[in-house]
Amino acid sequence: MEQVGLAAAATDVSLWSLFMQAGIVVKLVMLGLIAASVWTWAIVIDKYLAYGRARRQFDKFEQVFWSGQSLEELYRSLSERNNTGLAAIFVAAMREWKKSFERGARSPIGLQMRIDRAMDVTLARESESLGARLGSLATIGSAGPFIGLFGTVVGIMTSFQAIAGSKSTNLAVVAPGIAEALLATAIGLVAAIPAVIAYNKFSADAGKLSGRMEGFADEFSAILSRQIDEKLQPRAAAQ
């Protein structure tokens, strides 16, 4: 009865047992991949909430912007806030607009270029913020399987050395070592697959949000261009 118990213990292939029986290198690989998986899900949750919040803010701002409220009133209501997305682009353009007219702007082309540049800089900053940490998902998704495979190779080499030392090819002796080695690859795939899926999804979401910001910047630039002509043409005629 005691020998049966020892045999059962020797062939224990539970996940915890496989981890505890693995060598130090394989354990480090597994722990690193588990940490990468946790980091992946933290990014997934953060981006899911952030993009949902951004879409709601975009919708709310567009509703107010196209409601007919004057640009000056909207600027005053937003100028003291910590704005993001479309609101940040709007405030950057209006701030440059007001500064230029306060300093007696006379060149429509120069004013339009400064406003467009202010919006472009803000757009680039907001797009960069939307894409933050997506590179981590890409790295985990591409490197995870190979890191797991490295752990598997090391584990199999160690198992073969143990087999050679025991001079036994019994499956009960071979199986646990092979299983703990393959566990590293499995953990690598568990970390990598969600990372790849999340990266593709969030990259598409970030692209759509950036496209909305670019579209708004173009539309707002056209609106301001008309107002620049209306304000500066009388000055030019008077001179």
* Angstrom distances, CA of residue 123 to CA of 18, 84, 89, 117: 50, 10, 6, 10
Q: What is the pLDDT of residue 17?
A: 77
Mutual angle of helices 171-238 and 24-65, in 10-degree steps: 30
User: What pLDDT digit, counting tens, does each position of 118-144 carry?
Assistant: 999 999 999 999 999 999 999 999 999
Please report the pLDDT score of residue 168 as a whole number. 67
- pLDDT at residue 156, rounded to an integer: 86
The pLDDT confidence band at residue 111, using thresholds 50, 70 and 90, is confident
CA dist., res. 53 & res. 60, Å (int): 11
Domain boundaries, the chain: 27-56+69-238
Q: Are 91 and 220 in contact (CB under 8 A)?
A: no
Contact of 93 with 220, CB cutoff 8 Å: yes
- By the 10 Å C-beta count (0-12 exposed, 13-18 middle, 19+ buried), 55 is classed as middle
Cα 87 to chain centroid distance, Å, stands at 22
H helices, E strands: number in the chain? 8, 0
Report yes or no: 130 and 206 within 8 Å, Cβ to Cβ.
yes
Q: Give the CA dihedral 125, 129, 134, 135, nearest 10 degrees.
A: 50
Highest mean pLDDT among 6-10, 152-156, 167-171, 205-209: 205-209
- Concatenated DSSP letters of 8-53: HHHT---HHHHHHHS-HHHHHHHHHHHHHHHHHHHHHHHHHHHHHH
Q: pLDDT digit string (tens) for 22-73?
A: 778 888 999 999 999 999 999 999 999 999 999 999 999 999 999 988 999 9
